[in-house]
Amino acid sequence: MGFYFGGARAGSSSATRTQFVLTHLKHISHRQHLSRAAHTGTMQLEGSNSWHVPAVLLALVGLLVPSSSFQHHRYEDMVRALFTVQNECPYITRIYSIGRSVEGRHLYVLEISDNPGIHEALEPEFKYVGNMHGNEVLGRELLIKLSQFLCEEYRARNPRIVRLIHDTRIHILPSMNPDGYEVAARQGPEFNGYLVGRGNAREIDLNRNFPDLNAYMYYYEKTNGPNHHLPLPDNWEHQVEPETLAVIKWMQNYNFVLSANLHGGAVVANYPFDKSKDPRIRGRTTYAATPDDKLFKELARTYSYAHSWMHHGWNCGDFFTEGITNGASWYSLSKGMQDFNYLHTNCFEITLELSCDKFPPASALRKEWLANREALVSYLEQVHHGIKGMVYDENNNPISNAEISVVGINHDVTSGVDGDYFRLLLSGTHTVTASAYGYLPFTSTITVGPAEAIQLDFYLKTAPKPNPKVKPHNNKRNLSSPKLPSKLGPR
């Protein structure tokens, strides 16, 4: 009996398998990547009990399934596919787990970077998340294929891909809901129900499972409260599913700048807010704009127009102008992931609905990959727009958690632990202020172009200590721990 890899039995056709392996061995001798794999020796799986697999063995395993094949990947197949990519491009990849699902499956992330495992100052962090709804499978397959594509093109020295990997730290989570996927996959594409496998093993919709920060935001708008990094409600960790908890911790541990969440069931680029502020008007919810509404529209258009047909508007029986929509104006939802990204972290996320069929047949995957390939790369490149820089004190020490505010945009971002910040902006002239506790704020005006991000560093001077003889004003409001009205209890 042959080993089972990638959906095909390696022992099923000896002659075919032998010819396939010999062909790829010839290819390997050209590229010399087997010797590189042998040089690495072993790999360690992070986020679980440590175990090691000889890299040469994994290289040979990878030969049994051509990377250009298009097929659906069950959980074990997906894991093998990710480790094959890691083995073929060991110097630019790392696999880690952010946690486990209800049924104990790892939520594996493939990191692609010229220095995997390390955040480099001024290098932005980007993430793709797929398969949040277990029965919406195209995103899962596209992200596996994207991982293979980036590895192959890097080895082929494609200048665009080489530059992207050298300048970006890319994180790819192909499946946020591996348990739901297995439920849907057991039904098969032909018999899959619209909701079968959508939720996790407890049948919880993970895109309705994040803390509801929109309610806090609308309250803070009225009370001049914080406009970014909204605090989480008490006991929130016990109110979300394991998969949701893992992703929130992931967001908190990495200073992501840009993200996309891949779904299915429609073809449109959806941008925040997802939750409407106003009640329904004649059966429809109203548009809910973020302070970065123009920027989010441009991000959505970037994907839509790079996609083969999304921008045409008419798809799956619905029409969306330019192939984009505000989430709330389409239909309002609470506790969604893209709103949570914007309100709790520095990350800007949109939701990509990529196929009318939630579980398309394997025969459709090649067409879908070709339709999305350029869009996936183009959207990733948007992480390099706007401004970025360092925030220092007078002695050139980096300042973390400094606030970066832009005139006319009521949403700030903060600097990371290394003192670096990233602020996505549209082209134009912007007035930007950096401020931090204990320092005097500093303001600068800068013109941003359509090309790469402009670097703008800030050097903050220590604020003079207050005179102890001067009493503070009694009417100053403490906004560090704002109190919400009782009707906005935990949801």
So what's the pLDDT on residue 189?
Answer: 72
Strand spans (E) along 311-460: 314-315, 318-319, 324-326, 348-355, 387-392, 403-406, 409-414, 420-423, 428-435, 442-448, 454-455, 458-459
Q: Locate 119 and state its tokens.
A: 């955040």
Distance between CA atoms of 170 and 87, rounded to whole angstroms?
17
Query: Which residues are annotated as catalytic?
Result: 353
So what's the pLDDT on residue 43?
Answer: 34
So what's the pLDDT on residue 222?
Answer: 85
Series of mean pLDDT values for 10-residue runs along the chain (491 residues):
30 35 36 34 34 35 51 97 98 99 99 98 99 98 99 98 99 99 87 82 98 91 89 94 98 98 98 86 77 98 98 94 96 96 98 96 97 99 99 98 98 98 98 98 97 97 80 42 36 32
Q: Locate 266 and state its tokens.
A: 């429609």
Q: What domains lie within the chain, and their CATH numbers? A: 65-384 (3.40.630.10), 387-459 (2.60.40.1120)
Listed residue (365, 375, 364) closest to 311, CA to CA: 375
So what's the pLDDT on residue 85?
Answer: 98
Distance between CA atoms of 186 and 280, rounded to whole angstroms?
38
So what's the pLDDT on residue 284?
Answer: 65
Listed residue (205, 400, 185, 424) closest to 298, CA to CA: 424
pTM (predicted TM-score):
0.82
So what's the pLDDT on residue 281?
Answer: 58
